[in-house]
């Protein structure tokens, strides 16, 4: 048992509980780059440990009522079968195309996450008025249901092939498509990801891609980490949570670029949990000094339209 694996598992677990992001996008490249795990085994093992981790976090978020169950259910309709299909397609691609397709897909996804992270960062710092359009629950019209199914199918397929995206991509969709508040983004993301990860992990189990000893070692750190992160998610001010989401999205993109073979320093990826923890810690200290932390997704200012205050 490598103590460093437990430490990284704890850090990634805190990020998953706090933001819903960071599992496959950070842990898989760390397993490959730092610990020399075979890529296919790293993907399968990552999915297995992440399924347990996000189940624990999802239970915590469900009890805190930070989940939009309707959005979660409609996304799962598309994501679960697509994830199983993605695992099957992965083996077909390995036999016919080699690793070229997988590498290109991961690199493109990494760039997308970095761009999205930068956009979220700019929004958090310079466009706070846009937060007035956020809501605790989405109005699931027929068009929104179809969008949820289609979006879930894309995320599920990518997850089945690469093990990444269950947190980062879902968070982007919940922000841009459904415009949920940061707390609802995290809670809905974690619960849906838990469902999706179990489907993909079972498919990889059938393919023999899971190292149970490795997954158990990571879980020693990730389970308490995700519980702590989920507990903190309702105490961190909304602005700090958006900033943390932006940082983790950029870190997830860097992790995927490293996974694709680009020369991204491992230390830079490993620093992401520390930077995010610093932002959250600073926000909590400031909130306590000012008389208590603001609840994420709190009611908008009094001058906001009534429809946004509901």
- Overall average pLDDT of the 252-274 stretch: 76
Q: What is the pLDDT of residue 260?
A: 76
Query: Over the stretch 230-244, which tens digit does the pLDDT of each residue have?
Result: 888 777 776 677 677
Range with top average pLDDT, 27-31, 207-211, 246-250: 207-211
Give 203 or 17, the one with higher predicted confidence: 203
Percent share of the chain, pLDDT over 90: 15
Q: What is the pLDDT of residue 220?
A: 92
Give 35 or 143, the one with higher predicted confidence: 143
- Is pLDDT at 60 greater than 70 in this prediction? yes
Task: Identify whether the C-beta of residue 162 lies closer than 8 Å to the C-beta of residue 106.
Answer: yes
Binned at pLDDT 50, 70 and 90, residue 309 comes out as very low
Q: What is the pLDDT of residue 308?
A: 31
Q: What is the pLDDT of residue 306?
A: 35
Give 272 or 57, the one with higher predicted confidence: 57
Q: What is the pLDDT of residue 165?
A: 65
Task: Identify whether the C-beta of residue 161 lies closer than 8 Å to the C-beta of residue 192.
Answer: no
In whole angstroms, give the CA distance from residue 130 to residue 132: 5
- Is pLDDT at 302 greater than 50 in this prediction? no
Nearest Cα residue to 249 out of 8, 3, 26, 11: 26
Range with top average pLDDT, 117-121, 126-130, 203-207: 203-207
- Overall average pLDDT of the 262-278 stretch: 75
In whole angstroms, give the CA distance from residue 273 to residue 133: 29
Q: What is the pLDDT of residue 303?
A: 40
- Overall average pLDDT of the 46-74 stretch: 89
Q: What is the pLDDT of residue 99?
A: 62
- Is pLDDT at 126 greater than 70 in this prediction? no
Query: Over the stretch 195-205, which tens digit does the pLDDT of each residue have?
Result: 998 998 998 89
Q: CA–CA distance from 275 to each of 196, 207, 268, 269 (Å)?
A: 28, 37, 10, 10
In whole angstroms, give the CA distance from residue 285 to residue 60: 23
In whole angstroms, give the CA distance from residue 98 to residue 101: 7
* Residue 141 phi, psi dihedral angles, 5° rounding: -75, 175
Considering the chain, what is the average pLDDT of its residues? Answer: 78
- Is pLDDT at 299 greater than 90 in this prediction? no
Query: Over the stretch 70-100, which tens digit does the pLDDT of each residue have?
Result: 999 999 999 999 999 988 887 787 777 666 7
Percent share of the chain, pLDDT over 70: 80
Q: What is the pLDDT of residue 132?
A: 58
- Is pLDDT at 59 greater than 60 in this prediction? yes
262 C-beta neighbours (distance < 10 Å), count: 14
Query: Over the stretch 151-182, which tens digit does the pLDDT of each residue have?
Result: 999 989 888 877 776 666 787 788 778 888 87
DSSP string, 80-141: HHHHHHHHHHHHHHHHHTTTHHHHHHHHHHHHHHHHHHHHHHHHHHH-GGGGGG-BSS----
Q: What is the pLDDT of residue 293?
A: 45
């Amino acid at each position: 048992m490598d103590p460093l694996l437990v430490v990284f598992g704890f850090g990634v677990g805190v990020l998953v509980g706090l933001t819903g992001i960071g599992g496959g996008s950070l842990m898989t490249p760390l397993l490959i780059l730092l610990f020399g795990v075979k890529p296919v085994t790293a993907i399968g093992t990552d999915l297995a440990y992440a399924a347990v981790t996000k189940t624990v976090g999802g239970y915590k978020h469900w009890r805190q009522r930070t989940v939009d169950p309707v959005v979660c259910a409609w996304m799962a309709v598309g994501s679960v079968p697509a994830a199983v299909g993605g695992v099957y397609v992965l083996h077909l691609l390995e036999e016919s195309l080699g690793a070229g397709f997988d590498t290109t897909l991961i690199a493109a996804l990494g760039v997308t996450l970095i761009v999205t992270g930068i956009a979220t960062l700019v929004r958090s710092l310079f466009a706070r008025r846009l937060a007035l359009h956020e809501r605790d629950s989405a109005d699931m019209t027929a068009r929104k249901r179809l969008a949820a199914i289609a979006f879930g199918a894309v995320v599920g397929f990518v997850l089945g092939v690469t093990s990444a995206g269950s947190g980062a991509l879902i968070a982007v969709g919940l922000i841009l498509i459904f415009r949920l508040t940061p707390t609802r983004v995290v809670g809905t993301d974690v619960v849906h990801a838990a469902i999706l990860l179990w489907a993909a992990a079972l498919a990889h189990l059938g393919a023999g891609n899971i190292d149970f000893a490795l997954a158990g070692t990571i879980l020693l750190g990730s389970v308490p980490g995700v519980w702590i992160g989920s507990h903190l998610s309702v105490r961190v001010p909304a602005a700090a949570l958006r900033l943390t989401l932006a940082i983790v999205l950029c870190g997830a993109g860097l992790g995927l670029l490293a996974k694709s073979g680009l020369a991204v320093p491992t230390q830079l990826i490993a620093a992401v949990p520390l930077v995010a923890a610093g932002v959250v810690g600073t926000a909590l200290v400031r909130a306590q000094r000012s008389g208590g932390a603001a609840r994420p997704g709190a009611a908008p200012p009094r001058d906001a339209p009534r429809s946004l205050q509901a």
